Structure 1
Amino acid sequence: MNLSEPLEGLTSAVEGAVLRVLARADVGFSGRQVHALARVGSTSSVHRALAGLVRVGLVTAESRPPSIIYRINRHHVLWPVIDQALSSRARAFDSVREFCADDLPEELGLTVVVYGSVARRDSGLDSDLDLFVVYPDGIDDDARAEFNYQIAQHVERVTGNEAQVFSVERTELADRIDENDPFIENVLADGILIFGPPIGAGAGRAA
């Protein structure tokens, strides 16, 4: 699934983005405003998507010359389904968090961070979910490999996406931070903390 635009695959990428924009707001937008906020497709493709959603009743259109103002219709019988689908990114992250909480002793101090295209919200249907896992020093190699495998399997079960797991121990992480490692800097800049203690100022932002 596209964890940046969860409705893609169930509907077109443009329609999914339009629904996301309108669902997040309590005010209406013109077609041009929707296009600017959706950051996908062309102005004409966004207007076509809006027209289709108005036709099925999920979006309302109010004439306010020179514009038409569009709003999500939260009374529509399909709205609860759309609302659930739009929240699936957060629920996927919650599922990974719960998996870690159920599978790991709290005192272990393991950290799991989502980074890469999913964290930046520029992933697609075929994108992997990139996980950065920080283990305590001296973790057993077999235990580390097994958890990496199990968390990747869990991600695929709940999202359909493959997971790429990159893991380090805490001392190695500290050394690479001191060395201004570009990869670690990207993780810290883009990363979303899913589980465990934070690893830096950046990797703890909202999902």
Structure 2
Amino acid sequence: MQFSESASSVVPGLHGRVLGVLARTDRPLTGRAVAALLRTPASPSGVQKVLDDLVGNGVVIAEPAGRARLYTINRDHVAYNAIEQLAGLRELLLERIKTEADSWELPAKAIWLFGSTARGQGDADSDLDLLIVRPDDVDDSDPRWLAQLDTLSAHASLWSGNSCEVVEYSAAEIRDLVRHGERLVTELRQDAVPITGSSPRQTLNRKAG
């Protein structure tokens, strides 16, 4: 999956990327504004060509604004629901992970997305990085716990098309990382996206331990 511009995972090229930008806003945008909002650069002329094509198919509405034209996605078009889902694939993936984790026999203290996918920079070759905090009263060799981790990793890879890498720490180990000021803690504080359980802010607070 292209985590940075998820619509392009199914609608390849600039068309998917432009649709993703327009699906994420209600605000009319000029062609140059659409180009500026793309996660990876594209020429204004290339974006304009795509917009003209999408307008021709009725997927995008163009309205004059002085010498410019303003573009909005056509939410009445029969394709809109599909486009909206494509633009929200990352959120759908995280919801699937949360649903599975919330059904675990041995619940995690927390599960967070981190790394490039959390920063919105991941592409089809990026790993899907999950940090899982294990309760202190659950042994790291408990077969039930290990089976949960393996199943979630396999499912997340299947759902996204990306390799899922699980990093696991006990709650006590997380507290040690915080006390020692490890670089991972700084990264998690900046970028981690909570999926289920306690938030990074709650867990990584120096006073919490």
TM-score, normalization: structure 2? 0.87
8 Å CA contact retained: 2:6, 2:90: yes
> Aligned partner of 2:64: which letter?
S
Aligned-partner Cα distance in 1 for 2:104–2:13:
35
Residues 110-147 of structure 1: CA deviation (Å, up to 9, x unaligned): 21000011110011122111000111225323334333
Q: Out of 42-51 and 158-167, give the one that drifted further.
A: 42-51
Tell me the equivalent position of 1:167.
168
> Aligned partner of 1:196: which letter?
G
Aligned-partner Cα distance in 2 for 1:202–1:72:
40
Give percent identity, aligned residues only. 30
> Aligned partner of 1:157: which letter?
L
Aligned-partner Cα distance in 2 for 1:8–1:129:
17
Aligned-partner Cα distance in 2 for 1:6–1:70:
20
Tell me the equivalent position of 1:30.
30
TM-score, normalization: structure 1? 0.88
8 Å CA contact retained: 2:60, 2:73: yes
Aligned-partner Cα distance in 2 for 1:181–1:82:
41
Runs of 4+ in 1 over 6 A off after TM superposition: none
| CA separation of 1:182 and 1:2: change in aligned 2, threshold 3 A | same
Secondary structure, counterpart of 2:94 in structure 1: helix
8 Å CA contact retained: 1:130, 1:163: yes
Tell me the equivalent position of 2:43.
42
Tell me the equivalent position of 1:116.
115
Shift of 1:12: 3.0
Tell me the equivalent position of 1:136.
135
Aligned-partner Cα distance in 2 for 1:39–1:47:
17
8 Å CA contact retained: 1:190, 1:202: no
> Aligned partner of 2:8: which letter?
E
Secondary structure, counterpart of 1:63 in structure 2: strand
Tell me the equivalent position of 2:16.
16
Structure 2: 5+ residue runs without aligned partners? 205-209
> Aligned partner of 2:113: which letter?
V
Shift of 1:32: 0.9
Aligned pair count? Answer: 201
8 Å CA contact retained: 2:23, 2:83: no
